[in-house]
Amino acid sequence: MKEVGEKLKEAREEHGVSIEEVSEDLNLRVSQIQNIEEGNLKAFKDVFYLKSFIRSYAKYLGLDDENIMDEVNEYFFEETSKIPIVEIQKASKAKEKEKVKEKKVVSPYTIDDKKKSKVIPAILTLIILLLVFLIGYIIVTEYINPETENDNNIITYLEN
C-alpha cells in the first residue's frame, strides 16, 4: 500500500501541489492525505471511504484511477486472504451480536416493554378509585348528612 501512496505523493509533487491545496480541493483533512501517502491504513476506520479517497486523489492528480484501484484491491486481497476462516467467523458473530444490541432502542414512542403495559392499567385504576371516592364523599356530605340546610328544610317540611 506504501507503493500507491508513494505514486500519489510523487504525482502531487510533480504537479507542484501542496498537501493543503489537495486537502482543500478534495474536502479531505491534511492528515488523511498524509496517511494515504505514507500508506498508513490504520488511520482509516472504513476501507470503503479509504478507497473512495484514493480514487478521488488519483483522478485529481490525473493518474489512471483504475490501475491505482487495482493495486489497492490487490493489496487488500492479499492481506485479507491471510486471515484464517475461524477469525472471520468470530468477527462475523461479534458483529451480529452488536447489531442485535443496536436494535434495542428505547424511546417513549417505541417502548414495547411489559413494564409499560402494567403501569398504565395501574394508573387508570387509581384514577377511577379516586373518582369513586370523590363522588361518594360529595354524596355523603351534601345529600345524606342531616346537618345541611337542604336536609333541614326537608325534615321540617316532613314534620309539618
pLDDT single digits (tens) 23-76: 899 898 999 989 888 988 888 888 888 889 899 989 988 988 888 888 888 888
Give the CATH number of domain 2-80: 1.10.260.40
C-alpha grid cell, residue 40:
498508513
Which among 53, 4, 2, 59 has a CA at the least distance from the CA of 29? 53
- Angstrom distance (rounded) from CA 62 to CA 137: 89
User: Is the entire prediction scored with pTM above 0.75?
Assistant: no
- Angstrom distance (rounded) from CA 8 to CA 57: 8
> What is the model's pLDDT at position 131?
94
> In this structure, how many other beta carbons lie within 10 angstroms of the beta carbon of residue 25?
12
Residue ranges per domain, the chain?
Answer: 2-80, 114-159
Cell 489497492 belongs to: 72
> What is the model's pLDDT at position 127?
94
> What is the model's pLDDT at position 133?
92
Cβ distance 4 to 71 under 8 Å? yes
Cβ distance 75 to 1 under 8 Å? yes
Averaged pLDDT, 85-111: 75
- Angstrom distance (rounded) from CA 144 to CA 141: 6
In the predicted structure, residue 147 carries a pLDDT above the cut 70? no
Q: Name 76's Cβ contacts closer than 8 Å, sequence gap at least 6.
A: 47
pLDDT single digits (tens) 110-130: 655 555 567 788 888 999 999
pLDDT single digits (tens) 83-93: 777 888 888 88
